[in-house]
Structure 1
Amino acid sequence: MNPARLLLSPLWLAQLATGAKNFSKNPIIGSHRLNTRGLHAARVKRAHALAWKRRERLARLIDPADREAFDRDGFVAKRDFLPADQFARLRDAVLAHRGPARDMVQGDTITRRFAIGPELLREIPEARALLQNPDWRGLIRYAGSFDQEPLTYIQSILSHVRTAAPDPQTHLHADTFHPTVKAWLFLTDVAEDEGPFCYVPGSHRLTPERLAWEREMSIKAPEGVDRLSSRGSFRVSRDELPGLGLPEPRAFAVPANTLVVGDTFGFHARGPSVRPSTRVEIWAYGRRNPYLPWTGLDPLSLPGIAERRVGYLWGFRDRWKRFVGQPWRDVGDKSPTER
């Protein structure tokens, strides 16, 4: 046996008890023999069972109607989320903001992010008010199944910025094998043909059909699937949805001041944009070890740490990018709409 593989085998084994998902980098997670015998399926089942138990304990944080909608669809959409005057101040301040930005280029599209950290919170107090909003906090916690602070950004989607292949985020996919949460408060109107967020209703549920599909995909991975699926973000075609008992995706062509919170184990994508367009939003993301039985006890959510995590994360990746990669390029001071 290769000595390096022997030394790494305890780490690969330990990752089975975490959210590790990369079939191409972990030969145990990516083992054809073990996945044929149900390894991946067992990890999926256990993670989902624990997530729904945690959600039961967090249900008090949200309105019963929102809980019913989420449990059924995998998302909650709320128009006119903020009072009109508060939203107008937030939108105007964000669109006028200019500061340190990070870009990631995928195909013909740029995703730009600004960390919502201490400096930006001082500059835009309406952003702090949003992060303290009980409905914002409760929906994100219930959907993510953890009482934790998400990573939060100003995010812009700038489509058709260069001649290249289509944005890979337009392919329906699940982010990972276990429930996770993302949230979008749209600061600009989103048109049907300008890259709306799309979600397949009900695809967050671990039905027998979905579990069988997960098992089949794990057996094919890593060599028999596309590059992103081999990393644990399984892609699905629209033609496969009826066989999974799922409907067509819903496109969120919505006015500004609409909040969408979803479980991104559910199949989702960025809709295609037929012309150059810009979408600006407050975007939040939460993911934690799916096998933790408790909802809280997250030291990274403590005040003074939570709002600095994005900066720490970017700095860590900058320093160790040779080993961990750094897809987010420092582009200096930008505005959300600058191309």
Structure 2
Amino acid sequence: MNPARYLLAPWWVAQLATGAKSFRDNPIIGSHRLNARGLHVARVRRAHAMAWKRREKLAKLIDPADREAFDRDGFVARSDFLPAQQFERLRDAVLAHRGPARDMAQGDTITRRFALDPDLLAEIPEARALLQNPDWRGLIRYAGSFDQEPLTYIQSILSHVRDADPDPQTHFHADTFHPSVKAWLFLTDVAEDEGPFCYVPGSHRLTPERLAWEKAMSMKAPEGVDRLSSRGSFRVKREELPELGLPEPHAFAVPANTLVVGDTFGFHARGPSVRPSTRVEIWAYGRRNPYLPWTGLDPLSLPGIAERRVPYLWGFRDRWKRFVGQPWRDVGDKSPTER
């Protein structure tokens, strides 16, 4: 054995108690022998049990009807989320914004993000008001099972921008092995054939069928699955859903001012777009060590730190991209809709 593997072994073992998910980068997480004996399944079971315990503590933050919907479906959808005038000011300010942007190209689609940092929040006070909205805060915290500030962006999805393979995000997948949260406040109308967010209702629940599927996938990884699955974001084929006791996906073809908050352990994807299209939204993302027993105590959520995390993260990856990679390319000043 390579001596370096002995030196790294304690690090690989320590990662078992974190959200580390790559079967390719950690030979213990990716061990066929250990996963055949239930390592991956044990990590999944424990993470989900703890997430539901944390959610019990956070249930008071959301309306009982929203809790029932989330517990059943894995998502909450709220139309007319903001008062009409407040939403119109937010939408108009975002669409008129031009500033530093980052692009990530995947297939024929570009995802563009603008960090909701102190400068942008000062420019668009309606965005700051959104982040302080009790319903926004409560739904994201309950779905993510942590009392933490998510990373937030203005995000655009620009389809059919390049002559390339189809967008890989159109394949249904789970982001990771444990509950995590993403939220979309759509600032533009979303048509059913123009890349809507899609979610398989109930796929966030850890059923016996899902556990068996997770075990089978873990035993194939890292060599017997696609690249993204080998890194811990398992892809699922649509024809597999009935075998897992799951219904057809729900496509969120919705009007502007609709909020969707979902647990992205549930299977989800970006629907295909049959023509060049642009989707603009306020997008939030939260993920934390799934084995923490407490809901809060997150120093990165403190005011003054929370709104600066995205620029710091981009800067870190710029500096160390040789070692950690940097998929988000600095494209200078752009607008959300500029192609």
How is 1:72-91 mapped onto 2 (pairs within 5 angstroms)? Answer: 72-91=72-91
Q: Deviations over 1:252-278 (max 9, x none)?
A: 000000000000000000000000000
Tell me, which stretches of 5 or more residues in structure 1 are unaligned?
none
How is 1:14-93 mapped onto 2 (pairs within 5 angstroms)? Answer: 14-93=14-93
Task: Kindly state the Cα deviation for residue 3 of structure 1 after the two structures are TM-superposed.
Answer: 1.0
2:263 aligned residue = 263
Q: Deviations over 1:266-323 (max 9, x none)?
A: 0000000000000000000000000000000000000000000000100010011011
2:109 aligned residue = 109
Q: Residue 248 of structure 1 aligns to a residue in which SS? A: coil
Q: Residue 337 of structure 1 aligns to a residue in which SS? A: coil
Q: Which amino acid aligns with 1:337?
A: T
1:279 aligned residue = 279
Q: Deviations over 1:5-24 (max 9, x none)?
A: 11111110000000000000
Q: Deviations over 1:66-97 (max 9, x none)?
A: 00000000000000000000000000000000
How is 1:100-179 mapped onto 2 (pairs within 5 angstroms)? Answer: 100-179=100-179
Q: Which amino acid aligns with 1:306?
A: A
Alignment TM-score, normalising by the size of structure 2 = 1.00
Mapped to 2, the partners of 1:104 and 1:19 lie a distance apart of: 24
Mapped to 2, the partners of 1:7 and 1:114 lie a distance apart of: 40
1:311 aligned residue = 311
Q: Residue 236 of structure 1 aligns to a residue in which SS? A: coil
Q: Residue 56 of structure 2 aligns to a residue in which SS? A: helix
Task: Kindly state the Cα deviation for residue 140 of structure 1 after the two structures are TM-superposed.
Answer: 0.1
Paired residues, what number? Answer: 339
How is 1:229-268 mapped onto 2 (pairs within 5 angstroms)? Answer: 229-268=229-268
Q: Residue 5 of structure 2 aligns to a residue in which SS? A: helix
Mapped to 2, the partners of 1:287 and 1:60 lie a distance apart of: 21
2:182 aligned residue = 182
Mapped to 1, the partners of 2:299 and 2:164 lie a distance apart of: 42
Q: Which amino acid aligns with 1:150?
A: P
Q: Residue 273 of structure 2 aligns to a residue in which SS? A: coil
Mapped to 2, the partners of 1:24 and 1:298 lie a distance apart of: 29
Mapped to 2, the partners of 1:307 and 1:285 lie a distance apart of: 13
Q: Which amino acid aligns with 1:4?
A: A
Q: Residue 275 of structure 1 aligns to a residue in which SS? A: coil
Mapped to 2, the partners of 1:10 and 1:315 lie a distance apart of: 29
Q: Deviations over 1:169-220 (max 9, x none)?
A: 0000000000000000000000000000000000000000000100000000
Mapped to 1, the partners of 2:238 and 2:122 lie a distance apart of: 44
Mapped to 2, the partners of 1:140 and 1:154 lie a distance apart of: 17
Tell me, which stretches of 5 or more residues in structure 2 are unaligned?
none
Q: Which amino acid aligns with 1:251?
A: A
Mapped to 2, the partners of 1:103 and 1:7 lie a distance apart of: 37
Mapped to 1, the partners of 2:320 and 2:206 lie a distance apart of: 36
- Percent identity of the aligned residues? 90
Q: Residue 218 of structure 2 aligns to a residue in which SS? A: helix
Mapped to 1, the partners of 2:205 and 2:97 lie a distance apart of: 39
Q: Which amino acid aligns with 1:308?
A: R
Q: Which amino acid aligns with 2:134?
A: P
Mapped to 2, the partners of 1:181 and 1:115 lie a distance apart of: 18
Mapped to 2, the partners of 1:11 and 1:111 lie a distance apart of: 33
Q: Which amino acid aligns with 1:28?
A: I
Mapped to 2, the partners of 1:324 and 1:52 lie a distance apart of: 32
Instruction: Flag as ranges the 4+ runs of structure 1 deviating above 3 A.
Output: none
Q: Deviations over 1:82-121 (max 9, x none)?
A: 0000000000000000000000000000000000000000
Alignment TM-score, normalising by the size of structure 1 = 1.00
Mapped to 2, the partners of 1:234 and 1:255 lie a distance apart of: 30
Mapped to 1, the partners of 2:162 and 2:45 lie a distance apart of: 42
Q: Which amino acid aligns with 1:23?
A: F
Q: Residue 326 of structure 1 aligns to a residue in which SS? A: coil
